[in-house]
């Protein structure tokens, strides 16, 4: 049952991210739902599931993007794994702390992607960071915090804890 749920999640994430989200973009920036989903799965279902779902999301999304496959795999898988660890270790995860965490991860992955882009000089890279990477990281953080608040406060889902 859980497998089917994850499968649906991964399959439906692609049209959501590529077709519907462009309508909700702010200044042509849309949030990375793959990153947010991987973080939430890691937090609520543990590091292994976070890792596997994150890898699946990274892989499938990279099929529909010009981006590097390995970067997408590592970022989404890594976020799922990291969120799983933090969920167990941090005594109280709040929407703000999760939002800040997602913002930082998104910022680091965006910076890394900007650095690895071929043929970009410093000014172009800085422009990309300024106009794409940073706004997207903020957007990802806000969306992640919002979803976490919705799931934890409204639906009563709790993060995994170590006894």
Cα–Cα distance measured from residue 3 to residue 124, given in angstroms and rounded to the nearest whole number: 42
Cα–Cα distance measured from residue 78 to residue 40, given in angstroms and rounded to the nearest whole number: 12
Instruction: Give me Rg for the CA atoms of the chain.
Output: 15
Q: DSSP string spanning 58-106?
A: HHHHHHTSSS-HHHHHHHHHHHHHHHHHHHHH-S---HHHHHHHHHHHH
Residue of 40, 98, 136, 138 that binds another protein (CB under 8 A): 136
Tell me how far the alpha carbon of residue 55 is from its chain's centroid: 11
What is the residue whose two structure tokens read 């937090």?
Answer: 43
Nearer Cβ to another protein (100/111): 111
The answer to whether 141 contacts another protein (rule: CB under 8 A) is no
Contacts of 45 (CB under 8 A, 6+ apart): 53, 84, 160
The answer to whether 134 contacts another protein (rule: CB under 8 A) is no
Residue of 9, 14, 90, 108 that binds another protein (CB under 8 A): 14
The answer to whether 84 contacts another protein (rule: CB under 8 A) is yes
The answer to whether 20 contacts another protein (rule: CB under 8 A) is yes
Minimum distance, C-beta of residue 143 to another protein, in the bound complex (Å):
13
Minimum distance, C-beta of residue 145 to another protein, in the bound complex (Å):
19
Give the DSSP H/E element, type plus range, for residue 17. Answer: none
The count of chain residues that interact with another protein, using the rule CB under 8 A, is 64
The partner residues of 29 in beta bridges, in order of sequence, read 26
The answer to whether 119 contacts another protein (rule: CB under 8 A) is yes
The answer to whether 111 contacts another protein (rule: CB under 8 A) is no
Residues that bind another protein (CB under 8 A): 11-12, 14-20, 22-23, 28-30, 32, 34, 44-48, 50-52, 55, 59-67, 69-70, 73-74, 77-78, 81, 84-85, 88, 110, 113-114, 117-120, 124, 127-128, 131-132, 136, 156-158, 160-163
């Amino acid at each position: 049952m859980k497998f089917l749920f994850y499968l649906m999640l991964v399959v439906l994430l692609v049209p959501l991210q590529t077709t519907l989200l462009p309508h909700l973009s702010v200044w042509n920036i849309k949030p990375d739902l793959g990153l947010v989903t991987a973080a939430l799965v890691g937090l609520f279902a543990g590091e292994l599931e976070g890792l596997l779902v994150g890898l699946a999301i990274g892989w499938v999304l990279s099929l529909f993007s010009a981006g590097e496959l390995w970067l997408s795999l590592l970022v989404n898988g890594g976020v799922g794994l990291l969120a799983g660890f933090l969920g167990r270790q941090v005594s109280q995860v709040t929407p703000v702390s999760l939002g800040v965490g997602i913002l930082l991860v998104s910022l680091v992955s965006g910076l890394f992607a900007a650095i690895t882009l071929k043929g970009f000089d410093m000014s172009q890279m800085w422009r990309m960071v300024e106009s794409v990477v940073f706004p997207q990281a903020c957007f990802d953080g806000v969306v992640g915090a919002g979803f976490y608040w919705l799931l934890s406060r409204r639906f009563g889902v709790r993060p995994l804890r170590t006894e």
